[in-house]
Amino acid sequence: MPAWIYEKTFKAQMLVFFSKAPSKEWLSRFRVFLFLLCLIPLARLFWLGFNDDLSANPVEFVERSTGYWSLFMLLVTLSLSPIRLLTGRTWQLQYRRMLGLFMFFYACLHITTYLWLDYSFIWVDIVKDIIKHPYVLVGASAFLLTLPLAITSNNFMIRLLRERWKLLHNLVYLIAILGVVHFLWLVKKDIREPLLYAAILALLLGIRIYYKILSNKPKRNLM
């Protein structure tokens, strides 16, 4: 049923937007463009910082902003495969590593803000905060899980690990769920924004699961 709705409504627009085969030159120019685009959130923080415009609580502002963009990059990364499933186009997949690493980059800034600007590297307080507060524990776990993914993101490791690499990188789904739960639990009462993120993640995972189930069934012509 949902596939039928998609076929009848958005599919045409999706195919136009993700045009069949962009030229090589265009693809590499788009890579540079995407790279610069992903740096804007960081540039913005510096700009606001120099202008003393990081709100009354600058540490919280930087902490929130870097966390937010890390989650955003993760969701963008996770949307590339569903686009393939929905349109059959594959060229967007070549930016997956770069976007994934930007997620890691903003996560590193997020953690650094927490450890340094928020807790001044006072480890007793940090450990206590992580143990006592579920949302911090969930966030810390998510970050630790990104480390092996970042370390194995180069071509050498991909060749070395082969099939195990794919298995390892399935961790990204767990990281995404932990990330959204981290956001959901830290918010005091107004959970509209984290719920939006949860909904987007559910949609992205739902598309995968849907096609997975479909591909296990006897072949049907969907594309």
Interface residues toward another protein, by CB under 8 A: 49, 54-60, 62, 117-120, 122, 125, 128-129, 132-135, 185-186, 188-190
- Output the smallest distance, CB 184 to another protein, in A: 12
Residue 95 vs residues 73, 92, 159, 173, 208: alpha-carbon distances, Å: 12, 6, 19, 18, 19
CB 150, CB 111: distance < 8 Å: no
| Phi–psi pair at 135, nearest 5 degrees | -70, -30
- Output the smallest distance, CB 191 to another protein, in A: 9
- Output the smallest distance, CB 70 to another protein, in A: 19
- Output the smallest distance, CB 204 to another protein, in A: 27
Cβ distance to another protein smaller for residue 57 or 215: 57
- Output the smallest distance, CB 118 to another protein, in A: 8
- Output the smallest distance, CB 223 to another protein, in A: 43
Cβ distance to another protein smaller for residue 133 or 169: 133
Q: Which long-range contacts (CB under 8 A, 24 or more apart) does 205-211 make?
A: 205/78, 205/173, 205/176, 207/82, 207/85, 207/86, 208/81, 208/82, 208/85, 210/2, 210/3, 211/85
Cβ distance to another protein smaller for residue 46 or 156: 46
Give CA–CA dist 69/105, Å, rounded.
10
Quickly list DSSP for 53-118. -S-S-HHHHHHHHHHHHHHHHHHHHHHHHHHHHHH---GGGGGHHHHHHHHHHHHHHHHHIIIIII
Contacts for 111 with CB less than 8 Å, ≥ 6 apart: 143
